[in-house]
Amino acid sequence: MKKRRLGKSGLEVSAIGMGCMGFSHGYGAVPSEGESIRLMRKAYDEYGCTLFDTAEVYATYANEELVGKALKPIRDNVILTTKFMPVFLPGQEIPEGKLSRKGLRNALESSLKRLQTEYIDLYYEHRVPEDSDPAEVAFWMGELIQEGKIRAWGQSEPTAEQIRIAHAVTPLAAVQNEYSLMQRRPEKEVLATCQELGIGFEAYSPMGGGFLSGKYDKDTKFTGDDVRRVITRYRRENMEANQPLLALLWAYAAEKRATPAQLALAWLLHKKDFIVPIPGMRKDERLAENFGAADVALLPEELAEIDKALGKIAIHGDRKDSDIVKLGTVQSVILE
């Protein structure tokens, strides 16, 4: 597996990481605990994946516990990232508030126990509330770095301004935002800011929740706590309206003798050399497919052709926190 560095932090990771949320919730039926653990270890043993991402909010602590069990035998050989949500989760209530020095420390200590580790390689603020002070959080994160409890820190879904404010206090190792052929919002300001400041970028939902794999259509039914029940890009009419994007993917994937999923990941890898996509994968064939994307080469002119074609395609629907919280299984700072 090819390697990439997350900004100036010194953290070296596999070019493609593993998003672990889906092992516990969010995308329909989940594998058994044993199967999930097997797949995470296989990602490392057979494909060289060294970046594993989780969060305290995923299945309300359960995903961290699962990831901790899976990675315990290889803990010192991988980069472990987790995230604290700046709203209270069950059992976290304190007068100072969650977004306080004490609230942050309490959340971190609990994550350390669940993950069975003495330190977190990269600790994210899961969302950055508009009415919060990024500099204050950055200062607290700096204290945790000095104490050795975390090696580096980052923000998830910040604005360019929030990145600059925080980075000036305690340099960010990475930003984790949604980024894919379907969601190109980071291209407006955030990616340029990361490049200027030497900050890495983790792309979550790099395949649009699976849409870019080409494995779903307008007749697909999503049930239970599957977030695609409430994500508007998965409405029947939007699934149909977004077919031109899939057609584009299929065309270029065929030229590269790759799958649409591999082309979608390869596109991200070629956009910037500091981007690391973290797709979810819960089957052996998905591991082979996704990690294989690191070997799909795109020439600069091919990337330019794809981007030009993308500029002519309208994307219907979106993925918003305010929609996802309607499931009642995820708490978040609601961002539009």
* Local confidence band at 336 (pLDDT 50, 70, 90 cut-offs): very low
* Local confidence band at 216 (pLDDT 50, 70, 90 cut-offs): confident
The mean pLDDT of the chain is 93
Lowest mean pLDDT among 201-210, 255-264, 319-328: 319-328
For residue 331, pLDDT beyond 60: no
pLDDT digits (tens, 9 = 90+) for 104-149: 999 999 999 999 999 999 999 999 999 999 999 999 999 999 999 9
* Local confidence band at 335 (pLDDT 50, 70, 90 cut-offs): very low
pLDDT digits (tens, 9 = 90+) for 279-309: 999 999 999 999 999 999 999 999 999 999 9
For residue 227, pLDDT beyond 50: yes
Whether the CB-CB separation of 71 and 40 falls below 8 Å is answered with yes
Whether the CB-CB separation of 263 and 303 falls below 8 Å is answered with no
Structure tokens at 204: 């979550």
For residue 334, pLDDT beyond 50: no
Terminal Cα-to-Cα distance of the chain (whole angstroms): 36
Catalytic choice (27, 44, 47, 58): 58
For 3-208+272-297, which CATH class? alpha beta
58 is catalytic: yes
